[in-house]
Amino acid sequence: MWWYIGRRALQAIPVVLGATLLIYAMVFLQPGDPIKALFGEKPVNETIRASIAAQYNLDDPFLIQWLKYLGNALTGDFGLTYAQQPVSQVIGDAFPVTLKLAVMALIIESVLGVAAGFYAGLRKGKLFDSTMLIVSLLVIAVPIFVFGFLMQLIFGVKLGWAPITVGGDASIKNLMLPAIVLGLVSFAYILRLTRTSVVENLTADHVRTARAKGLSDRSVNSRHVLRNSMIPVVTYLGADLGTLMAGAIVTEGIFNVPGIGNLAFRAINRGEGSTVVSIVTLMVLIYVVMSLVVDLLYAWLDPRIRYA
Amino acid sequence: MIAAASLTLAACGGGSDSEGGGSGGTSDAVITSFSTQPQNPLIPTNTNEVGGGNIVDLIFAGLISYKTDGSSENEVADSITSDDNKLWTVKIKSGWKFSDGTDVTANSFVDAWNYGADAANEQLSAYFFYPIAGTDDEGTIPDGGKTISGLKVVDDSTFTIELKQSESDFPSRLGYSAFFPLPASAFDDMDAFGKKPIGNGPYDFASMTDNVEAVLTPSKTYEGVRPAKNGGVTLKFYENPDTAFSDVQAGNLDVLDQVPPSALTTYKDDSSIQAFSEPGSPNSTITIPESLPGFEKGEEGNLRRQAISKAINREEITDKIFDGSRIPSTDFSSPLMPGFTEDIEGQDVLDFDAAGAKDLWAQADAIKPFEGKFVVAYNADGPGNKEWVEALTNQLKNNLGINAEPKAFPTFAELRTEVTDRTIGTAFRTGWQPDYPSIYNYIAPIFGTGAGSNDGDYSNKDLDALLQQASGAQDDTERYKLYADAQAILFKDLPAIPLWNTSISAAAADGVKNVKFNWQNKPELQDITK
């Protein structure tokens, strides 16, 4: 298995390189000069513009810029923001907040999604199942920011149960509302996935065998139906952590969470290449690691799968 | 509900003698206000955007400061005098201290300005030093020099400023952040200073958490004209004004100076907040270059410009598209400027009159028929630009019967590149946010012959002469009269067509008192209590 993990880690290198190159190209192709934009509507001072541009290697051709970025990144120097702060420090401040938010969303959506999906699958065609179908379709159909503003208005402004914005205090209590909003869509998908998978497994051979052996309903459902239904759900969850972190941008905006999404948004607007690329690289790494974890989990869920 | 909202408006527009008790009331409550993450280190000469500006303006005090009505008064300066409006002598008051205990001296100012104008220091606000002798047109010291030759320290409390040309309202520039002083310790390590600045203003910089907030506490040493009447100001950074608006509604945020577009139609009737809507200083115009066929200098061009101005129904656009967040212009500046008057010759050219417009256009056609179309270029990345340019060209089409159409540039940078290269070949949208509260600043840099922001290459000797005269004028009444005369020339020639001013659309939480807005559309945070 260690051999397998090592091989996967090696595969990650070209993926990360390719991703940084792509993103760098996109930032580079953004029209307009980010340094000119720093001057706002006042006349641009050419001497100062040139000297700032040189500091950020902005006048180099883009391949050279990318190589310089990579070279520095290998030594742990991810460059400076236009506000002269190390990119590593800026990301270091924002990343834990987003990670916390995404993990909370992941826990909420997986616990609720699997439970509701499992129950709906067992009670196929009954009232609970139909209700959940409607709820999940609704959640998937309505854009996330609508829920964001709606929940903010209801629970924050009207009822006053939850703080409207998170700001500096990223505690679990403050992040609860944004985490629910962030996890809402995935909750619906997990619910659908679990339910379909459970329905399928209920009629599978091994479940019939288990029942024929005289096992109790409870034991059949939890050990044979649920566990085997988890494979597609785990696949989804693994990829979802990355999606949640990258997709937190809308939720973070609505609840003013000082996380990675807000940071990326601002950096893209300002054409701050080094920040954008560093954030994206981090996201790519998270995807790579999570997909490895998912593959390893398969082996645990389904003993027939072995990695040698 | 509507009545309640307008009462609030009246109280706040009317002056300071309402419930807060004017100057007397102080309280210990900390005021929270909307802001954004500063984009640059917090060095006054490097701060040119609102996020940093909000902090810097409160922790520093300049030679002069601006009153709420846009007029200025001496703050650190004891006097700023000149016989010829060209060589200015500045005397500073004794007793001013930075929050680290060191004295504010003539050198605190001169060294700070030299630092700002030194190109090697890459300061984004170097531009503001351009009127001073010894700087180039962009405000930096030429040939890698380290000191501005026009600045001379006489003694600890006196220094002189020599300008390139006489300018009577030069002192009113000096309240802008680029002209703030710096303590000697700043020059030892400017990077560290930019993270934790030490100022001489009404507040001390206590701390800042990136993307979260900046905490400012009342200064113990400050004895200027803007004393803190609250227990401190916390500027909370938001990415999204919609979120900030919800926070105001719930009472989590005291002041929001920009109501988001989504709430513009409703916020004045919202009983959970206090709403403010007042005229503001930035304006929007359409510049029609003289190089455009049919719009050349002369009678034909003037008739066509006037026809276009009269064919625009400004009221309709500000109501329908901007929900009242813009107010139709009545001159080339803003109602917030000292000396503003509605009594300028030829001002009626801004009144909507479709029949008159058509008539003027016909007169121009009688001189020489108009061929082709009238195109208005705009940058599509500015919110609302597309909508109003389309509405405006439609009005021109309907009211003048000409072929008018909008032309979109994806970004502001791309539009400006073609404008400054003079390759644009169409009319285009322009706007101006004043550097300091003076009508002069809305005219000279834009319409003076060869001026830095004269995008339409307008040139009129009479206007130049009036501006020159105004620069030499010694008293305000005379100066304001000359500004009005200068604007009368502009109303005749219409090098740019004034459209509207961006108004202040702000909200404050219930129970917050003494909310007033200055010429920069910013709340006077030091006066606010709750």
Q: How far is CA B461 from CA A65, B349, B388, B467, B490, in A?
A: 50, 22, 34, 10, 12
What is the model's pLDDT at position A155?
A: 85
Q: Is residue A193 part of a domain?
A: yes
C-alpha atoms less than 13 angstroms from C-alpha of B283 in its C-beta half-sphere? 26
Over residues A45-80, the pLDDT tens digits come to 778 888 888 888 877 888 888 888 888 888 888 888
pLDDT above 90 (res A242)? no
Q: Is residue A1 part of a domain?
A: no
What is the model's pLDDT at position B458?
A: 92
CA distance A87 to chain B (A): 12
| C-alpha dihedral sign at A169, A174, A175, A177 | negative
Chain A residues near residue B383 by CB distance under 8 angstroms: none
Domain count, chain A: 1
Q: Is residue A173 part of a domain?
A: yes
Q: Is residue A141 part of a domain?
A: yes
Between A82 and B523, name the one with better pLDDT.
B523
Residue B305 in contact with partner chain A when CB distance is under 8 A? no
Contact B125 A46 (CB under 8 A): no
The token duo for B55 is: 């902090």
Over residues A121-176, the pLDDT tens digits come to 888 889 999 999 999 999 989 888 888 888 888 888 788 787 888 877 778 888 88
Mean pLDDT of chain A: 84
Q: What is the spatial distance between Cα A48 and Cα A33, in angstroms, rounded to a whole number? A: 14
Interior/surface letters B362-382, b for 16+ CB within 10 angstroms, e for the rest = eebbeeeebeeebbbbbbbbb
Question: For chain A, what is the radius of gyration of the CA atoms?
Answer: 24
What is the model's pLDDT at position B410?
A: 81
Nearest CB neighbour to B209, from listed A51, A164, A168: A168
Q: What is the spatial distance between Cα A206 and Cα B178, in angstroms, rounded to a whole number? A: 77
Q: Read out DSSP for B65-126?
A: EE-TTS-EEESSEEEEE-SSSSEEEEEE-TT-B-TTS-B--HHHHHHHHHHHH-GGG--TTG
Query: Which range, of A21-30, A184-193, B149-158, B322-331, averages the lowest pLDDT?
Result: A21-30
What is the model's pLDDT at position B279?
A: 85
Chain B residues near residue A42 by CB distance under 8 angstroms: 48, 125, 127
What is the model's pLDDT at position A29?
A: 78
CA distance A61 to chain B (A): 20
User: Three-class SS string for A22-80?
Assistant: HHHHHHHHCCCCHHHHHCCCCCCCHHHHHHHHHHCCCCCCHHHHHHHHHHHHHCCCCCE
Q: Is residue A119 part of a domain?
A: yes
Predicted-complex ipTM score: 0.77
Name the pLDDT band for A225 (thresholds 50, 70, 90): confident
Partnered with residue B88 across adjacent β-strands are B161
Q: What is the spatial distance between Cα B385 and Cα B377, in angstroms, rounded to a whole number? A: 10
- Cα–chain center distance at B66: 12
- Least Cα distance to B510 among B249, B302, B285 occurs for B249
Determine contact, residues B161/B151, Cβ cutoff 8 Å: yes
| Range(s) of the domain holding residue A213 | 87-301
Q: What is the spatial distance between Cα A292 and Cα B398, in angstroms, rounded to a whole number? A: 64
Contact A152 B246 (CB under 8 A): yes
- What CATH number is given to the structural domain containing A140? 1.10.3720.10
What is the model's pLDDT at position A276?
A: 87
Residue B71 in contact with partner chain A when CB distance is under 8 A? no
Contact A157 B209 (CB under 8 A): no
Contact B210 A262 (CB under 8 A): no
- Cα–chain center distance at A226: 25
Q: What is the spatial distance between Cα B116 and Cα B180, in angstroms, rounded to a whole number? A: 10
Q: Is residue A78 part of a domain?
A: no
Q: What is the spatial distance between Cα A257 and Cα A168, in angstroms, rounded to a whole number? A: 8
Determine contact, residues A116/A191, Cβ cutoff 8 Å: yes
Q: Is residue A37 part of a domain?
A: no
Determine contact, residues B273/B248, Cβ cutoff 8 Å: yes
pLDDT, mean of residues A219-238: 84
Which stretches in chain B have pLDDT values below 70? 1-26
Q: How far is CA A213 from CA A206, A209, B84, in A?
A: 10, 6, 108
Q: What is the spatial distance between Cα B151 and Cα B118, in angstroms, rounded to a whole number? A: 13
What residue spans of A127-216 are helical by DSSP H? 127-141, 144-151, 172-202, 205-212
Contact B119 A48 (CB under 8 A): yes
Determine contact, residues B39/B50, Cβ cutoff 8 Å: no
Contact A41 B433 (CB under 8 A): yes
Q: How far is CA A144 from CA A190, A230, A251, A268, A275, in A?
A: 16, 26, 8, 22, 26
- Least Cα distance to B286 among B419, B434, B423 occurs for B419
Nearest CB neighbour to A40, from listed B49, B238, B247: B49
Chain A residues near residue B212 by CB distance under 8 angstroms: 167-168, 258
Strand order in the sheet with B404-409: B326-328, B496-502, B283-287, B427-432, B374-379, B404-409
Q: Is residue A287 part of a domain?
A: yes
Chain B residues near residue A82 by CB distance under 8 angstroms: 39-40
What is the model's pLDDT at position B1?
A: 31
Which amino acid belongs to residue B396? L
Q: What is the spatial distance between Cα A186 and Cα B66, in angstroms, rounded to a whole number? A: 53
Over residues B123-156, the pLDDT tens digits come to 988 888 989 999 988 889 988 889 999 999 999 9
CB contacts under 8 A, A 17-46 vs B, are 31-33, 36-43, 45-46
Name the pLDDT band for A32 (thresholds 50, 70, 90): low
